[in-house]
């Protein structure tokens, strides 16, 4: 029988998809956002989706639905409070960090054999609150619940994902670790290593229909060319066409600017000389509109990639489908909700908080690449098959595990 999974902070379901591909049976998911939950339901039929703030899902409900039935609790607590790109660099600790404690509460109630937590690399040095490092909290909480745990930073391109994405994974186990729970890399850019070459941007998206600014539709349209490589063949399995492939609206002036933009160069730097008064200051806007390099993996797909990256050949930003391909989502995976969305600050300012949901672009940028989830899922499945019965695991100090981070 397939081991069963409960996915917390499930988003659109990239982690669930990869675990399913690895051989797990995802039976439950918790996700607060309406549009992300719609996407999850569309692509994971048969999974019980609880659309709610996890803090409102009480212990009685968790026991009734999942108690004694779950082998793996997996998920990624919201990462904004742990990211180095946000206010954390100035010493701020976000309220969302407390959701890690909610994750552990669910683990304590459901009592799975294994636990998988995914987050940004900054998670390893983040704090739940000032003076309370998140990793020390996890070490104590998991050991008290009878779990041994291991930590590793994994890079998505090493597992066949066509975009850079460095993420930390915490694996906790009540069945022990007869071997490492982390997969060995399968891809490399080094020709001296016996591995598959990295998947490039061109490998991932060169077969998708060409679009000009504002062209395309959300619904499925037939492919207009055959697949050009094995990655594209894999992405097309079970699909008769392409959906979520709509180009951003651009002014003629911006289109001309994109045409002049060489690969690997940012729009901010185009035709611009450095000002002595800037003293090397960098703003968040200086990374906007960077043209991707065709024969390399994409830079990290973020939640605001609609203004971050330019197609390597076409004078426009990426579509949702192109970003999904770069994150290793198959073409059968359909994204619900609006393609883009106003900022939370803008919606709040004008009393439109009720419209504040995750757009297709947000959902993709926030998610776990399915190929990466598949790779780690295979290792966890193998461990469960090797040691199916829970046992008391030895305590491990966080300091010992931290030394294993790569």
DSSP string, 112-155: -SEEEEEEEGGGGG-EEETTEEHHHHHHHHHHHTT-EEEEEEEE
Enter the tokens of residue 179: 């071997």
| Confidence check: pLDDT of 277 > 60 | no
Report pLDDT digits (tens) over 363-385.
999 999 999 999 999 999 999 99
More confident residue, 197 or 93: 197
DSSP output for 356-392: ----HHHHHHHSPPHHHHHHHHHHHHHHHHH--S--P
| Confidence check: pLDDT of 389 > 90 | no
Decide the pairing of beta strands 148-155 and 166-173: antiparallel
Query: Looking at domain 201-270+283-366, which CATH architecture does it have?
Result: Alpha-Beta Complex (3.90)
| Confidence check: pLDDT of 8 > 90 | yes
At residue 395, the pLDDT reads: 57
The residue-averaged pLDDT of 93-114 equals: 85
The residue-averaged pLDDT of 58-83 equals: 87
The residue-averaged pLDDT of 330-358 equals: 88
| Confidence check: pLDDT of 294 > 70 | yes
At residue 210, the pLDDT reads: 97
Class of domain 4-186+368-402: alpha beta
| Confidence check: pLDDT of 202 > 80 | yes
At residue 310, the pLDDT reads: 96
Sequence-separated (6 or more) residues with CB below 8 Å from residue 91? none
Report pLDDT digits (tens) over 107-128.
999 999 999 999 988 888 888 8
Give the residues across from 171 on adjacent strands: 116, 150
The residue-averaged pLDDT of 194-222 equals: 97
At residue 122, the pLDDT reads: 83
At residue 129, the pLDDT reads: 79
CA distances from 193 to 163, 187, 189 (A): 20, 9, 8
Burial 275-304 (b: 16+ CB within 10 A, else e): eeeeeeeeeeeebbbbbbbbebbbbbbbbe
At residue 125, the pLDDT reads: 81
Going from N- to C-terminal start, the domains of the chain cover 4-186+368-402, 201-270+283-366
Catalytic residues: 79
Report pLDDT digits (tens) over 219-255.
999 999 999 999 999 999 999 999 999 999 999 999 9
At residue 287, the pLDDT reads: 56
Which pLDDT band holds residue 405 (cuts at 50, 70, 90)?
Answer: very low
Give percent above pLDDT 90 in the chain: 73
At residue 392, the pLDDT reads: 63
| Confidence check: pLDDT of 176 > 50 | yes
At residue 367, the pLDDT reads: 97
Report pLDDT digits (tens) over 181-190.
999 999 999 9
The residue-averaged pLDDT of 68-96 equals: 63
At residue 306, the pLDDT reads: 75
Sequence-separated (6 or more) residues with CB below 8 Å from residue 95? 81
DSSP output for 259-303: HT--TT-BGGGTT-PPPGGGTT---GGGGSSEEPPTTSPBPP--T
Q: Out of 203-207, 258-262, 391-395, which region has the weakest mean confidence (pLDDT)? A: 391-395
At residue 307, the pLDDT reads: 80
At residue 128, the pLDDT reads: 82
Decide the pairing of beta strands 132-133 and 127-129: antiparallel
| Confidence check: pLDDT of 14 > 80 | yes
Max Cα-Cα span within the chain? 66
At residue 163, the pLDDT reads: 98
Check: CB of residue 123 under 8 Å from CB of residue 153: no
From the CB of residue 344, how many other CB atoms can be counted at a distance below 10 Å? 11
Sequence-separated (6 or more) residues with CB below 8 Å from residue 129? 93, 97, 98
CA distances from 387 to 25, 181, 283 (A): 18, 12, 50
Sequence-separated (6 or more) residues with CB below 8 Å from residue 28? 5, 6, 7, 47, 48, 49, 50, 65, 66, 70
Sequence-separated (6 or more) residues with CB below 8 Å from residue 51? 31, 32, 34, 37
| Confidence check: pLDDT of 281 > 60 | no
| Confidence check: pLDDT of 280 > 60 | no
| Confidence check: pLDDT of 164 > 70 | yes
The overall average pLDDT reported for the chain is: 88
Check: CB of residue 178 under 8 Å from CB of residue 387: yes
| Confidence check: pLDDT of 82 > 70 | no
At residue 406, the pLDDT reads: 40
Kindly give the interhelix angle for 14-22 and 370-386, rounded to the nearest 10 degrees.
50
From the CB of residue 78, how many other CB atoms can be counted at a distance below 10 Å? 18
268 closest CA partner among 251, 290, 252, 301: 290
């Amino acid at each position: 029988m397939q081991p069963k999974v409960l996915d917390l902070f499930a988003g659109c379901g990239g982690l669930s998809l990869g675990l399913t591909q690895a051989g797990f049976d995802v039976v439950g998911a918790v996700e607060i956002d309406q549009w992300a939950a719609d996407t999850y339901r569309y692509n994971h039929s048969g999974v019980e989706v609880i659309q709610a703030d996890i803090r409102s899902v009480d212990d009685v409900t968790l026991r009734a639905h999942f108690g004694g039935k779950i082998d793996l609790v997996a998920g990624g607590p919201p990462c904004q409070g742990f990211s180095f790109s946000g206010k954390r660099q100035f010493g701020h600790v976000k309220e969302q960090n407390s959701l890690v404690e909610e994750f552990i509460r669910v683990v304590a109630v459901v009592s799975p054999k294994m636990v998988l937590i995914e987050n940004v690399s900054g998670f390893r040095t983040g704090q739940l609150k000032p003076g309370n490092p998140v990793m020390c909290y996890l070490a104590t909480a998991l050991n008290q619940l009878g779990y041994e745990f291991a930590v590793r930073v994994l890079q998505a391109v090493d597992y066949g994902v066509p975009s850079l994405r460095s993420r930390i994974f915490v694996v906790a186990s009540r069945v022990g670790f007869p071997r490492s729970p982390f997969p060995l890399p399968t891809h490399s850019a080094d020709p001296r290593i016996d591995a598959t070459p990295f998947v490039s941007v061109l490998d991932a998206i060169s077969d998708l229909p060409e679009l000009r600014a504002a062209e395309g539709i959300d619904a499925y349209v037939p492919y207009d060319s055959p697949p050009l490589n094995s990655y594209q063949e894999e992405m097309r399995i079970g699909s008769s066409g392409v959906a979520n492939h709509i180009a951003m609206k651009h002014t003629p002036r911006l289109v001309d600017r994109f045409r002049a933009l060489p690969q690997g160069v940012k729009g901010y730097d185009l035709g611009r000389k450095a000002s002595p008064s800037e003293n090397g200051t960098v703003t968040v806007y200086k990374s906007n509109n960077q043209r991707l390099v065709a024969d390399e993996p994409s830079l990290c797909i973020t939640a605001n990639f609609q203004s971050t990256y330019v197609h390597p050949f076409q004078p426009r930003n990426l579509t949702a489908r192109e970003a999904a391909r770069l994150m290793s989502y198959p073409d059968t995976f359909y994204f619900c909700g609006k393609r883009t969305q106003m900022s939370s600050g803008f919606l709040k300012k004008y009393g439109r908080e009720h419209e504040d949901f995750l757009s297709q672009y947000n959902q993709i940028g926030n998610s776990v690449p399915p190929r990466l989830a598949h790779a780690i899922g295979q290792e966890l499945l193998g461990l469960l098959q090797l040691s199916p019965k829970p046992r008391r695991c030895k305590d491990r100090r966080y300091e010992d595990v931290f030394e294993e981070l790569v």
